[in-house]
Amino acid sequence: MKVLSVNAGSSSLKFQMYEMPSEDVLISGLFERIGIDGSYTIKYQGQKVKKEVALPTHKDAVQLLIEELKNYHVVENLDEIKGVGHRVVHGGDKYADSVVITDEVIKTLEELVPLAPLHNPANITVINVFKELVPDACQVAVFDTGFHQTMPEENFLYPVPYEWYQKYGVRKYGFHGTSHKYVSGRCQELLGKEDAKIIVCHIGNGGSISAIKNGKCIDTSMGLSPNAGIMMGTRAGDIDASMVLYMKNNAQMTVEEIDNALNKKSGLLGISGVSSDSRDIEDGMKQGNERCILAQKMYVRKIVNYIAQYYVLLGGADAICFTAGVGENSKDTRRDIIEELACLGIKIDPARNDVRGEETLISTDDSTCKVYIIPTDEEVMIARDTYQFATK
C-alpha cells in the first residue's frame, strides 16, 4: 500500500512516500520558499535533483509534487495512493491521537489558528488540496501536540488566572510530539523495557526536552507556543514575561516587534550575533569568538537545567536520548551537556560519541544512566498512523 507523509510548514512542504507496511521509502522531497521564489529537491533511488521553480502557493507545490510522483513512475494512477498523513502543528487539547480528517476536524483546526497562526493555516490549505486532488485517499492528521496530552494538570497549567485556561485555552501544549514519541519508543526497544524512564532531547534549530515514563509524556519544555523552554536557534525560550512590557515602554517597540524579536532574532543568533546554526557557533568558538563561546555556554546550560529538572521529576532516568539536527550531529554539544551532569554519575565515552547521525550508545559502561543518539523519523510515524486508519 502506498502512503504519503506530508509535513507542511509556513513556506515549505516536505514529503516522503512509503510502501507500507514494509516502510520502504519510494521517493522523498522538499519544496522550499513557497510564496517567495521557490525551489524543490527530489530524492529518488539514491539520486538527488534540485530545481528552481515558481511556487506562489502551497497548492502549486502539491500539484507539482503529484506531477513528480507520476514523472518518476512511483504511481501511474493517483488511486494507488491509499493514505495521506499530514503533520499538523496544533491540535490544542482536543486531539491526543491521530484522527481521520473530516469537515469537523478541519473546522476545529481553523478554530485553533490563533494558537499556531503561521503553521495551522498552511496545514489546512495542504489538507484541502490533497482532498481535492486525491479524493479517495484516507486523509489523516497527526498532531505535533498529541503525544504531550498525557501531561497531568499540575504540569501543563500555568500559574495564571484559571479563567485564562477555561476561556482562552492558555496552557502548556508542547510540540515535536511525533519525534518524542518515535525516539522514546525506539529507546524502550533498545532498553528492552516498556516501563522505562526516558529524557528525550530533541535539539535542532528548534528544540524541546521531554520527560517520558512508561511510554507517556509527563512534562515537556515547550509551552503554549514553540517559543518556550530551552534557548534555540532564533527563539529565546523561557524569559521573564515582564520583559515584553519593559521593552515596549523603554525601546518604543510594539508587541508585534517584540514577539518577532523573541522568535526570530534571539537564541543563538541573538547572543552570538553570528548565526542561528550550531555549526557556525562551533566554528566561531574555534576562532575565539567570545560571543559564540557565550552563546554555547548559555545553550548548554538551558538544556542541562531541563534534563536535571526532569531527572528529579522522573525519580532518576534509564536513558537520555539525543535527536534532531544538533542532537544527532554535534558531538561537542552532546559532550558539553553530559559533562555538566557528571554529579549524577552520568558519563560519556569520547570514542562512542565521535559519530554523526547514527543510532548508538554513547555513555560509558559505568554510567548511571544510558545515553543514546537516536535519529528521529517523524515521517515514518505519520505513515504508520495513516496506514492503520487506511486499513480499517
| Judgement on whether residues 247 and 318 belong to the same structural domain of the protein | yes
Calpha distance 11→266 (Å, rounded): 21
Catalytic residue among 24, 79, 93, 144: 144
- Return d(Cα 22, Cα 372) in angstroms, integer: 25
**Do 136 and 262 belong together in one domain?**
no
- Model pLDDT for residues 17-26, shown as the tens digit of each residue: 999 999 999 9
- Which residue's C-alpha cell is 537564541? 267
Query: Among all chains, which residue has been given the C-alpha cell 494512477?
Result: 77
Is the pLDDT at 274 greater than 80? The verdict is yes
Residue 186 lies in a domain: no
Is 155 inside any structural domain?
no
Residue pair 333/299 in contact (Cβ under 8 Å)? The answer is: yes
Residue 195 predicted with pLDDT over 80: yes
pTM: 0.91
**Is 60 designated active site?**
no
CATH number at residue 318: 3.30.420.40
CA angle 306, 183, 329 (to 5 degrees): 75
Q: Are residues 288 and 205 in the same domain?
A: yes
Judge whether 169 lies within some domain.
Answer: no
Q: Which residues are bridge partners to 361 per DSSP?
A: 372
275 found inside a domain: yes
Looking at the fold, whether 134 and 252 belong to one and the same domain comes out as: no
**CA dist., res. 263 & res. 274, Å (int):** 16
pLDDT value, residue 12: 84
Query: Domain for residue 158, yes or no?
Result: no
Q: Say if 70 falls within a structural domain.
A: yes
Indicate if the pLDDT at residue 247 is higher than 80.
yes
Residue 189 pLDDT greater than 90, yes or no: yes
In the chain, the number of structural domains is 2
Q: With beta carbons less than 8 A apart as the criterion, state whether 347 and 366 touch.
A: yes
Q: Is 11 part of a structural domain of the chain?
A: yes
For residue 21, cis peptide bond before it (omega within 30 degrees of 0): yes
Q: Give the range of the structural domain holding residue 242, as residue numbers without chain letter.
A: 192-373
Q: Do 18 and 2 meet the contact criterion of CB atoms below 8 Å apart?
A: yes
Percent of the chain with pLDDT strictly greater than 90: 85
Confidence of residue 113 (pLDDT cuts 50, 70, 90): confident
Neighbours of 52 (CB within 10 A): 10
**Neighbour-count burial of 282, counting CB atoms closer than 10 A to its CB (0-12 exposed, 13-18 middle, 19+ buried):** middle
Task: Indicate whether 40 and 100 sit together in one domain.
Answer: yes
